[in-house]
């Protein structure tokens, strides 16, 4: 399939109108380059991708709604754009896929002016460039209420990792450190300015795209998920999808540095294990096969991999404390449908 | 790539929670079947598609925002769901692609209860079944304001038709009859109940997926677009993308039956040529090659194909009246960004 003269990096010409002037300017502000499989980028009725036959295509979509998923008082507009894209790309990381590109739909109320739109687009573009993903298209509409993002991600993988392959005996490992984003949200909710590291974890999350591929290529990963709803809630997804039970050990949970001197160890654990939006990876790995991947992640990417539990026969999630005693789950996962955040 | 035991038609098990109970029930209410390339449907972090190497993949996304694109007072909830999906699928028709599936993101205010959600899902499922498309995933969130749909469509084609290939000398043809949806919107805006045929055109639009493939396989189609913003506005997109001028002839525009006895011929033409959301096809076709496709469309699908103008050198859109005289464009296209609909 040949692409348009000038190649896909030049969006198709659109008719003159205030709507299309804005869209043209946004595409320019995003400024992402094009991955080789993009035969046609934004500007026509659909983008065209030419994916090799050795890979499958992965698609996922992620809503970010103002007053539910974010508050404009907490973040700069470029961070709001960055975060909406990072959260969506994280679903590709969860399957150890490489990103191809994203479609960004954006509904905005009248007070969001062109300069603000450019800031949002700047954050979107920053996240895309960081992870080598293209802008494939999107939609722009007025909103009579909140700012709404919907980001669809398209990726490719030879052998994607699902949630459903965990086996009794597997070890559960988590990337990075947990609770930073929840610590920031807790501070804002209490009227405080978060610690800079917590703020950074919330506003500039890193979808673990490279880490997931290093992990899946260097360990026997049976199942994986990204931590969007929190360790307890997302471990429950692996348990439900795989038809197994998950045992998590409170003393093993790697806490974000900002939680190390938190008010109480229980409160710190509640944020690290119950708070969502860390976008770290949780993987069920065949026993004894994780160490080479852990060493490679630490050496090449500076990212820790920590054993937090194990998979057994049964169902659901069980927590144990430092003496092996059963404890209550540190907190419920954040539920974007029923929560009043 | 092997799919989960049980095949993709059974969504992955999700953890117990009110959010996932709703999502499970919605997937069931949609009730779409799975096209062969769907290796994994909804329920994991991403859907998995296995598309053959002879085809390219097409992706597009389409927002439908309450008070901007639709009003809950005008339509039943199942029609609102149907229409959001039909509008998005129409972008695949514009490129003569076959649909694989859709991702449906839905943000809903608290007063939209589970029964209403099931009605929306029923309309989504009806449209998917009518066009052989699968539900691949989506997202569900609370909205502190309007109901917002964002529907992403994924399709495949051997040789997709772009907007950018129109050549001077091409003939412009349109499928079906125009202005039905605009007539319904005009009636509602005036406090009237629309004619049943106009209501049907608005609430149950037909994305011309089959028609587009018949057309592209039986005529030399150089460029195509679907009429979402209106004949004038969408012809301007072909003109801009192809670097050509478009000449439209007012007397040739095929009017929806409800416009035949409209208040004045000028008002009828304004709705047919300026009103959007008919989702018919507008194609630039090599001279003299359209007739076999027109006959096939009429005979096999009962859909008319009407010559409405031609492509010349230059830029922009020009209208001429019955005596060949220049006339004002019947109306501006509806602009979902700046309009106050």
Q: Can you tell me the mean pLDDT for B320-338?
A: 73
* B135 and B177 belong to one structural domain: no
Question: What is the domain-level CATH number for residue A204?
Answer: 3.90.650.10
Residue A339: how many CA atoms within 13 Å on its side-chain side? Answer: 17
Q: Can you tell me the mean pLDDT for B2-27?
A: 67
* B202 and B143 belong to one structural domain: no
At B222 the three-state DSSP class reads strand
* B153 and B175 belong to one structural domain: no
Pairing label, strands A326-327, A221-226: unpaired
Q: Which one of B61, B233, B239 has the shortest CB-CB distance to A105?
A: B61
Which residue has 């700046």 as its token pair? Answer: B338
Evaluate whether residue A339 is within a structural domain: no
pLDDT tens-digit readout, A50-64: 998 899 999 999 999
Q: Which one of A51, A68, A339 has the shortest CB-CB distance to B144?
A: A68
Which residues, at least 6 apart from B31, have a Cβ–Cβ distance to it below 8 Å? B125, B129
pLDDT tens-digit readout, B151-179: 999 999 999 999 999 999 999 999 999 99
Residue A125: how many CA atoms within 13 Å on its side-chain side? Answer: 16
* In the predicted structure, residue B337 carries a pLDDT above the cut 80: no
Interchain CB distance below 8 Å, B49 and A58 = yes
The boundaries of the domain holding residue A225 are: 171-327
* In the predicted structure, residue B341 carries a pLDDT above the cut 60: no
Q: Output the CA–CA distances (angstroms, integers) from residue A211 to A27, A55, A130, A180, B109, in the order listed.
A: 29, 19, 14, 19, 37
Q: Can you tell me the mean pLDDT for B300-306?
A: 98
* A176 and A323 belong to one structural domain: yes
Interchain CB distance below 8 Å, A46 and B241 = no
Interchain CB distance below 8 Å, B65 and A143 = yes
The pLDDT, as a whole number, for residue A33 is 78
The pLDDT, as a whole number, for residue A157 is 96
Which DSSP symbol is given to B163? Answer: S
Question: What is the domain-level CATH number for residue A73?
Answer: 3.30.1330.10
- The percent helix, strand, coil of chain A (3-state, each to 5) is 35, 25, 40
Which residues, at least 6 apart from B1, have a Cβ–Cβ distance to it below 8 Å? A56, A159, A160, B39, B48, B50
Spatial separation of the C-alpha atoms in residues A81 and B46, rounded to whole Å? 21
Q: Can you tell me the mean pLDDT for A126-146?
A: 95
Which DSSP symbol is given to A273? Answer: I
* In the predicted structure, residue B34 carries a pLDDT above the cut 90: no
**Rounded-to-10 torsion of CA A135, A137, A142, A147:** -40
Comparing A147-156, A176-185, A321-330, B136-145, the range with the smallest average pLDDT is A321-330
B15 confidence band (pLDDT: 50, 70, 90): confident
Spatial separation of the C-alpha atoms in residues A21 and B142, rounded to whole Å? 31
- Distance in Å, alpha carbon of B268 to nearest chain A alpha carbon: 24
* B229 and B319 belong to one structural domain: yes
The pLDDT, as a whole number, for residue A44 is 92
pLDDT tens-digit readout, A10-19: 567 888 888 7
Evaluate whether residue B210 is within a structural domain: yes
Chain B residue numbers with beta carbons less than 8 Å from the beta carbon of A151 are: none
Evaluate whether residue B338 is within a structural domain: no
* B202 and B313 belong to one structural domain: yes
Chain A interface disruption, residue of B61, B94, B112, B137, most A CBs within 10 A? B61
Interchain CB distance below 8 Å, B162 and A12 = yes
The pLDDT, as a whole number, for residue B11 is 62
The pLDDT, as a whole number, for residue A340 is 36
Domain count, chain B: 2
* B153 and B289 belong to one structural domain: no
* A112 and A223 belong to one structural domain: no
Which residues, at least 6 apart from A325, have a Cβ–Cβ distance to it below 8 Å? none
Q: Which one of B69, B91, B241 has the shortest CB-CB distance to A46?
A: B91
Interchain CB distance below 8 Å, B107 and A65 = yes
Chain A interface disruption, residue of B42, B57, B235, most A CBs within 10 A? B57
The pLDDT, as a whole number, for residue B14 is 83
Evaluate whether residue A259 is within a structural domain: yes
Signed CA dihedral, B281, B285, B287, B290: sign only: negative
Both tokens of A14, joined, read 């659109």
Interchain CB distance below 8 Å, B18 and A337 = yes
* B319 and B176 belong to one structural domain: yes
Evaluate whether residue B6 is within a structural domain: no
Both tokens of A174, joined, read 């988590």
Evaluate whether residue A1 is within a structural domain: no
The residue among B157, B183, B203 that closes a domain is B157
| Residue from A87, A84, A228 nearest A147 by CA | A84
* In the predicted structure, residue B230 carries a pLDDT above the cut 60: yes
Q: Which one of A45, A57, A61 has the shortest CB-CB distance to B95?
A: A45
Spatial separation of the C-alpha atoms in residues A65 and B110, rounded to whole Å? 14
* In the predicted structure, residue A74 carries a pLDDT above the cut 70: yes
A22 confidence band (pLDDT: 50, 70, 90): confident
Chain B residue numbers with beta carbons less than 8 Å from the beta carbon of A56 are: 1, 39, 48-50
Per-residue b or e along A126-163, where b marks 16 or more CB atoms closer than 10 Å to that residue's CB? bbbebbebbbbbbbbbbbebbbbbbbbbbbbbeebbbb
| Residue from A43, A61, A108, A23 nearest B91 by CA | A43
- Distance in Å, alpha carbon of A29 to nearest chain B alpha carbon: 18
The pLDDT, as a whole number, for residue A341 is 33
pLDDT tens-digit readout, A269-298: 999 999 889 999 999 999 999 999 999 999
A7 confidence band (pLDDT: 50, 70, 90): very low
The pLDDT, as a whole number, for residue B26 is 87
Mean pLDDT of chain A: 91
Both tokens of B243, joined, read 């670097």
pLDDT tens-digit readout, B65-122: 999 999 999 999 999 999 999 999 999 999 999 999 999 999 999 999 999 999 999 9
Residue pair B253/B273 in contact by the 8 Å Cβ criterion:
yes
Which alpha helices (H) appear in B18-113, and where do they start and end? 18-30, 77-93
Residue pair B201/B219 in contact by the 8 Å Cβ criterion:
no
Evaluate whether residue A222 is within a structural domain: yes
The residue among B131, B157, B183 that closes a domain is B157
Residue pair A90/A207 in contact by the 8 Å Cβ criterion:
yes
* In the predicted structure, residue A28 carries a pLDDT above the cut 60: yes
The residue among A157, A186, A211 that closes a domain is A157
Residue pair B131/B211 in contact by the 8 Å Cβ criterion:
no
* In the predicted structure, residue B336 carries a pLDDT above the cut 70: no
Residue A1: alpha-carbon gap to chain centroid: 32
* A282 and A208 belong to one structural domain: yes
Q: Which one of B19, B60, B144 has the shortest CB-CB distance to A145?
A: B144
The pLDDT, as a whole number, for residue A34 is 80
Spatial separation of the C-alpha atoms in residues B265 and A129, rounded to whole Å? 53
Spatial separation of the C-alpha atoms in residues B323 and B55, rounded to whole Å? 46
Signed CA dihedral, A235, A237, A241, A245: sign only: positive
Residue B327: alpha-carbon gap to chain centroid: 29
Spatial separation of the C-alpha atoms in residues B253 and B237, rounded to whole Å? 18
* B36 and B110 belong to one structural domain: yes
Give CA angle at B117 (B112, B119), nearest 5°: 120
* In the predicted structure, residue A335 carries a pLDDT above the cut 80: no
pLDDT > 90: percent of chain B: 79
* In the predicted structure, residue B18 carries a pLDDT above the cut 90: no
Evaluate whether residue A109 is within a structural domain: yes
A21 confidence band (pLDDT: 50, 70, 90): confident
* A194 and A48 belong to one structural domain: no
A263 confidence band (pLDDT: 50, 70, 90): confident
Both tokens of B122, joined, read 């029923």
């Amino acid at each position: 399939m040949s692409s348009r003269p000038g190649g896909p990096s030049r969006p198709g010409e659109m008719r003159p109108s205030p709507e299309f002037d804005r869209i043209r300017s946004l595409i320019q502000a995003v400024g992402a380059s094009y991955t080789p499989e993009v035969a046609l980028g934004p500007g026509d009725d659909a983008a065209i991708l030419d994916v090799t036959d050795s890979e499958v295509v992965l698609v996922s979509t992620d809503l970010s709604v103002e007053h539910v998923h974010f508050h404009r008082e907490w973040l700069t507009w470029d961070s709001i754009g960055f975060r909406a894209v990072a959260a969506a790309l994280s679903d590709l990381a969860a399957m150890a896929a490489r990103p191809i590109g994203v479609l960004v739909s954006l509904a905005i109320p009248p007070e969001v002016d062109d300069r603000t739109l450019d800031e949002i687009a700047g954050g979107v573009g920053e996240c895309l460039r960081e992870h080598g993903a293209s802008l494939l298209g999107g939609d722009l509409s007025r909103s009579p209420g909140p700012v709404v993002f919907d980001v669809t991600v398209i990726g490719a993988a030879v052998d994607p990792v699902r949630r459903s392959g965990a086996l009794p005996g597997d070890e559960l490992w988590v990337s990075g450190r947990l609770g930073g984003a929840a610590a920031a949200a807790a501070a804002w909710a209490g009227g405080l300015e978060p610690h800079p590291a917590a703020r950074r974890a919330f506003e500039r999350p890193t979808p673990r795209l490279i880490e997931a591929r290093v992990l899946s290529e260097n360990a026997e990963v049976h199942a994986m998920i990204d931590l969007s709803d929190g360790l307890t809630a997302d471990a429950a997804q692996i348990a439900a999808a795989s038809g197994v039970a998950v045992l998590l050990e409170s003393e093993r949970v790697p806490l974000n540095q900002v939680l190390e001197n938190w008010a109480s160890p229980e409160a710190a654990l509640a944020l690290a294990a119950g708070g969502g939006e860390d976008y770290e990876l949780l993987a069920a790995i065949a026993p004894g096969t994780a160490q080479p991947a852990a060493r490679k992640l630490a050496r090449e990417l500076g990212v820790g991999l920590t054993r937090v539990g194990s998979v057994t026969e049964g169902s659901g999630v069980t927590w144990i404390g430092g003496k092996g005693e059963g404890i209550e789950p540190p907190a419920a996962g954040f539920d974007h449908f029923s929560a009043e955040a």
